[in-house]
Structure 1
Amino acid sequence: MTVTKLFKEFLDSEKAGGFTLIACTILSLVLANSVWSESYLHLWHYSLGNHPIEYWINDGLMTLFFLLIGLELEREVYIGELSNLKNALLPIAAALGGMLLPVGLYLFLNYGTSTQSGAGIPMATDIAFALGVLSLLGNKVPTSLKVFLTALAVIDDLGAILVIAIFYTKTLIWSNLLLALGIFAFLLLLNRLKVRNLIPYLLGGIVMWFFMLHSGIHATITGVLLAFAIPFGNGNEKSTSYVLQHFLHKPVAFIVLPLFALANTAIIVNSNWHYALSYNYTLGIALGLIIGKPIGIWLFSYLSVKLKIGKLPDDLNWKSILGASILGGIGFTMSIFITLLSFSDGEHIDNAKIIILLSSLIAGVLGLFYLKMNLKNRKA
């Protein structure tokens, strides 16, 4: 399988970023439960321009993360795994199963209750963490498995973005939304006119973000829209999309996501933390990530191949697909992100975060050991 230079760069940055995320999460938890707890927690709520720092990270900097996801999705659609319909249908089916079953399990336990809004929490896979765990197996991992997991994670992140836009919009201000979409249309026009300079797209993106922020729809959606407005061309190293994606890799992996982890895992874990396991909404999250994700991903992948909709790569088998499916239960970034939109009660948010961290840890360890056993005889 041919792997583009940019995709390899994406994999490398995501792997290293995954380890950075783990380190930042541990550091944040330690500081939040240390003698510096009060100062550390206050840091993220320090007001900057009438909003706390945490707000600017979640609503501002995370737009860059969504922009990078959008650029990677665009590349996959044009020249990557998703450019061939037969190849694309396998990760698309897998992502669909990996979204529907976790949401179904969550709703089974929470439908009609005040925590029903958390249904989107267990539906997305954290690319950085998943690829970080996969990298621990070294060159025993087939390239096609890395591509499958990446495509799957990108697609279900897109699904999560759509869910955020549709179901987590409480109040819609049409005037601001239409202005944001008008700017998006203008940027698409620039694309059609073959304007390749990045500056007008970035300036337009900032203005679009401002109006989207005040429209009621989460502002980070701007990142994905902007990605598809930026010219892709032939996708070579001189293309506008390539240049921006190349530039964003390291800032997103080593600044944006670590800051997100530090700000959103500052959780005080008291002696009664285990009671967080006893609520329907936390149980729904855990079952969705640990059980729903792997079963949904594997089952829909299997059905797509058996029904001759999708195609299993020659160097993969159903055991390796199951291993990747288990890693799909690592939710972290997107799961925490949707938690912040789902609940307003601080206790609900902290309990959900604890369960997300535990479930992602379990999924990561199980997936790592399962794949290590399955791939141990594969030649390096």
Structure 2
Amino acid sequence: MFIPTTTFLQRLSALLPVFLSIAFATTLPKPPGPYDVYYNTAKMVDGGRIDPFDPKKGHRTVMTSIYLPVRCRVDLQPIAYLPPKTAAVESEIFAAYGLPNGTLQSLDLQVCPGPLRSQLREAEQLPVVIFSPAQNSPRHLYGLIAQAVASYGYIVVSIDHPYDADVVEFPDGSTVYAIDFTDEQIPVDVDTRAGDVSFVLNQLSCPGSVKDLLPGSKGLKTNKVAMFGHSLGGAAAAQAMLRDKRIVGGINLDGSFFSTVIKKGLDRPFLIFGHENKTQATDDSWAETWSHLRSWKLELGLAKSQHYTFSDLPALLNLLDAPKEILEAAAGRIGTLDGLRALDIVQAYVVAFLDLVLRHKNPEILHHSVAKFPEVSIIDK
């Protein structure tokens, strides 16, 4: 997660009393699509890999979340947006931005409760999509985006990568905290993330392995999936595609590319979506990787955006009625685009790409600029 500057903190210290009024229970809105969403989490241990960042050389262990599209037959129920220790860590970080302690703990998602019973057989036939978050950002901070994508009929599985996220919280309450990666370790981290993705796909297709994440499931269809990621998660999406042919399309949301995919390229569809002024002209890794993309490809730009526009953060500040002064102070990180508008745009283009590669549709917004989304520009294709 990004670290605030001293000047930034000074500007916000005077605003803290103004912002205290938002620290009350907030139920986040239902996702926009035709489906409701069932949610669950599970720990997955890869007995075949040693974690390269674990000082004790233990087996690589990840946390996953599933967002499963369902037609809910009972009332939706609120669940915590963040698990308790993750909320505590992130609250301490965001306190520096004027967010009162306890605000993140007050957020609830609306989900369909289990057990799913008869709905499960139909739901588990839907396409699978993997999501990987930015470095230092827990997967939970993309819950609104993941839930929105799932509500259009995609099973979204998000992954926390230990020693990379600020904190990875396991079901027994144990935690793994982020380490400071050197520049030389970043490609190793991206390769490790790619390995996490292949491992999770293997687990999802196996009834015995997926049972904790999706009780009662006979396994999901993982022979043809897609992946999207933000920042380093976008780089991981590309590297995972290079290594695993089951991934038939990928999206990099505002991340530089790392590792061998830059020169080896890809032979399946790939979309890159950058914040304002992040293009092939400003990021050499984009330009070089683009030249090695041998299938359908598209580069988009989003006006009034910054790096964390491609997360839940702008929408959360909007839903929390953050004062104008806070939004202005955070603009260098989240942009000036309205938070809910940003969420709408990001999920719309992710879903359009998924429709292209997994449902063989031909969405108009992937071919030219449209009046519905004037903030989005086609940079290259």
**TM-score bucket (shorter structure):** under 0.3
TM-score by length of 2: 0.27
More contact order relative to length (CA 8 Å, sep ≥ 6): 1
TM-score by length of 1: 0.27
Give the strand-richer structure, 1 or 2: 2
